[in-house]
Structure 1
Amino acid sequence: MEAPTARLLTDFLDSTVLLEQTQYEEGFKDGYRDGVASGKEEGREVGLKHGFEVGEELGFYRGCIEVWKSAIMIDPNSFSSRVQKRIGQLAELAENYPLFQPENQNVQEMMDSIRLNFKIISVNMGVKLEYEGRSRTSKQDLEDIVV
């Protein structure tokens, strides 16, 4: 048979351990709930910011395409056939960009193709056009620095 003082000590320790576990679980639940709420809000803000930046850059390229197409309509010889072909390819890339499908796995590759075609057109035209809204430290810029 267990001594009464040993039983009281065991009951006291059990309740202390149980209290600690209960407090831990409540703290975890509270932290998880708060993290989910703030994570959704932060994710929304980041998504809106990134979406705006992508839309702004894509709008820049589409605006250039429209100006070039207008110049070609006014004077079909304003650009070489190679540049005109590239403008058509760029227009197709910009038109097919999945603006309303952010979960599409190819969006970064597509934007990289748009940027590359735009640079090629600019070089072939002998002008230095550049979208200045995006940050200067893109993946391609970092690769250029390393090479």
Structure 2
Amino acid sequence: MDSNQSNDSIEDIFDSSLNLEETHFKEGYDEGYNHGLNTGKEEARQVGLKTGFETGEELGFYKGCVDVWNSVIRVDPNRLSARVQKGIKQMEELIEKYPAIDPEDESVQEIMEALRLKFRVLRAALGMKLDYNGYPKPKDIEF
């Protein structure tokens, strides 16, 4: 073995020792990044499921109200004023217009806000004390 080869191997040993901290830092960063990426995807999925469920639940509540009000109109067409009947029809159209299949549609928030507003107007016009408060928490349910 000549002296150039032994000097190169000694330098390689020192280089790897000097770069040890940088190597470990990069490995740790890469592992943390990959773990965070996977964890973030799962957390985003869970948040998406929860938000989707809550939105569907609220839409179902409004649809149920519209169905009941339409039943009242079928049984007694003169029971509700023309203005209230028009509001019910508008609310029904908003529910049908909601883009359930395309969650990235930009009109989602606008439609939900319009539904909430229309519900409040109808509730006031009918003199009802009905609110959508979301799904009841287990501690709020009594048997």
In the superposition, the TM-score normalised over structure 1's length comes to 0.80
**Shift of residue 18, structure 1, vs aligned partner:** 1.6
Q: CA–CA distance in 2 between the matches of 1:125 and 1:69?
A: 13
Provide the alpha-carbon RMSD of the alignment.
2.2
**Shift of residue 132, structure 1, vs aligned partner:** 1.3
**Shift of residue 112, structure 1, vs aligned partner:** 0.7
Aligned twin of 2:28: 27
1:95 counterpart letter in structure 2? E
**Shift of residue 10, structure 1, vs aligned partner:** 9.9
**Shift of residue 107, structure 1, vs aligned partner:** 1.1
Q: CA–CA distance in 2 between the matches of 1:119 and 1:131?
A: 10
Q: 1:16 to 1:105 in 2, by over 3 A?
A: farther
Secondary structure (helix, strand or coil) at the match of 1:62 reads helix
Q: Deviations over 1:56-96 (max 9, x none)?
A: 01000000000001110111111100000000000000111
Aligned twin of 2:94: 93
Q: CA–CA distance in 2 between the matches of 1:116 and 1:61?
A: 11
Aligned twin of 1:137: none
Q: CA–CA distance in 1 between the matches of 2:28 and 2:89?
A: 59
Q: CA–CA distance in 1 between the matches of 2:31 and 2:73?
A: 63
Aligned length: 129
Aligned twin of 1:130: 131
Query: Which consecutive residues of structure 2, in runs of 5 or more, have no partner in the other structure?
Result: 1-9, 136-143
In the superposition, the TM-score normalised over structure 2's length comes to 0.82
Query: Which consecutive residues of structure 1, in runs of 5 or more, have no partner in the other structure?
Result: 1-7, 135-147
Percent identity of equivalent pairs: 52
